[in-house]
Amino acid sequence: MNSKTKSILKSIGAVITGILINVIPAITIDAVLHVTNCYPPMGERMSDSLFLLAISYRLALAILGGFFTAKLSPYSPIGHVITLGVIGTIASTLGHIQMGDQGPAWYSIGLIVISIPLSWLGGFIYLKRKG
């Protein structure tokens, strides 16, 4: 395998890692909060305060995903985290279209709006810590 192919695979891996850091913990936390009855049963609408809880850990995960995407990128860390943010924006927009009426508008629109800036923030934090 040549170095260009390795670099492309590392780039893809960096962005996929960022996606997984965003998605897997969020799904796991959601499931635990449903099972422990902190959240209502699936399909029932949650209160706005519970949506505030949900967005709070999604904010942290978006930053963390950006941090590790930047760390794993073979070049151009900010370019990689912007790619991650764009993918998050697209996924959040599709989620809003499909499930937008199952929660407050601020929640689903908030997820769309935060994707790029928080992914970027994670990458920025990585670069500042790297020195």
pLDDT for residue 55 is more than 80: yes
Chain-centroid distance of CA 93 in Å reads 13
pLDDT for residue 109 is more than 80: yes
Contact between residue 97 and residue 42 where contact means Cβ atoms under 8 Å apart: no
pLDDT for residue 124 is more than 80: yes
Alpha-carbon dihedral sign for residues 129, 60, 29, 11: negative
Domain ranges for the chain, please list them. Answer: 14-31+49-130
pLDDT tens, residue by residue, 66-86: 999 999 999 999 999 999 999
Question: Residues near 95 by Cβ (< 8 Å), separated by ≥ 6?
Answer: 108, 111
Q: What is the pTM of this model?
A: 0.92
pLDDT of residue 100: 67
Report the C-alpha gap between 108 and 88 in whole angstroms: 12
pLDDT, mean of residues 113-131: 96
pLDDT of residue 102: 85
Mean of all residue pLDDT scores within the chain: 95
